[in-house]
Amino acid sequence: MSKTTRKPLVAGNWKMNKMVGESVDLAAALKPLVAGIDGADIVVCPVYTALYAVGEVLKGSNVELGAQNCYVKESGAYTGEISPQMLLDAGCQWTIIGHSERREYFGESDAFLNEKLTFALGAGLKVMFCIGETLEEREGGTMNEVLTRQVVEGLKGLQEGDFASVAIAYEPVWAIGTGVVATPEQAQEAHAFIRSLVQENFGEVVASALRIQYGGSAKPGNAGELISQPDVDGFLVGGAALKADSFADIVKAVV
């Protein structure tokens, strides 16, 4: 499968930002700016408290709803957690799993993220699964080793059919929220390596169809150059997703 048959995926990770009213306003402002665009899948991931309200705003639009995380149980005595089933109930089609901030601040291991990924897919959610190296790992020459571990351990046990509901988001951790962006060549090199790992472990059919998003300080100004790379299939957008016009401009750059 060539890149032309992989539909770009552009998602906005709003992180821990926006009250419910602000989230509703942002979704309402975004909708008309991307209406009629069918050359990309578009997702927004608000905070949990705003999911239902934003989902109501997005109904009937071409923007899908995603969450930023989920747990590995359907229900029970897990104070403060939320299940994939609850996310589906709130209107979500997607969730992010394995974001570098979850790995770093909350100590989420490859094995735990694999459990999360498997459970979310089993519940019927689509998943953007995040991987990526730190600056120390890149400069220390262990980038490929880190990415290999994250892919092999993180995707362990998945079957070919599961990958229809999975995208990988490559986040160079040194480029998140720093304003530093991987060059198109650096992004392409990492994405091509990730695709080769997936091919090695899951076969060419899976690897060629898999969408790999870039997730490090994507902006309207660099999105066009990045998306032109053969293995870059969209974006997981942070800061630029908090403004409707800048996020819409990234979507437009992709299509």
181: pLDDT strictly greater than 80: no
User: How much is the pLDDT for 49?
Assistant: 98
Name the CATH topology of 10-254.
TIM Barrel (3.20.20)
State the pLDDT confidence band at 4, using cuts at 50, 70 and 90.
confident
User: How much is the pLDDT for 251?
Assistant: 98
User: How much is the pLDDT for 2?
Assistant: 72
157: pLDDT strictly greater than 70: yes
Q: Pick 176 or 121 by higher pLDDT.
A: 121
Tell me: the pLDDT tens digits for 196-248?
Answer: 999 999 999 999 999 999 998 889 999 999 999 999 999 999 999 999 999 99
Tell me: the pLDDT tens digits for 90-114?
Answer: 999 999 999 999 999 999 999 999 9
Please list the active-site residues. 99, 171
Give me the residue spans of the domains in the chain: 10-254
User: How much is the pLDDT for 180?
Assistant: 75
Tell me: the pLDDT tens digits for 39-64?
Answer: 999 999 999 999 999 999 999 999 99
Q: How large a percentage of the chain has pLDDT more than 70? A: 100
Across the chain, mean pLDDT equals 96
Q: Give the closest residue to 215 by CA, choosing from 128, 143, 154.
A: 128
28: pLDDT strictly greater than 70: yes
State the pLDDT confidence band at 119, using cuts at 50, 70 and 90.
very high
Q: Which is it for the CA torsion 61, 125, 247, 53, positive or negative?
A: positive
User: How much is the pLDDT for 21?
Assistant: 98
User: How much is the pLDDT for 175?
Assistant: 82
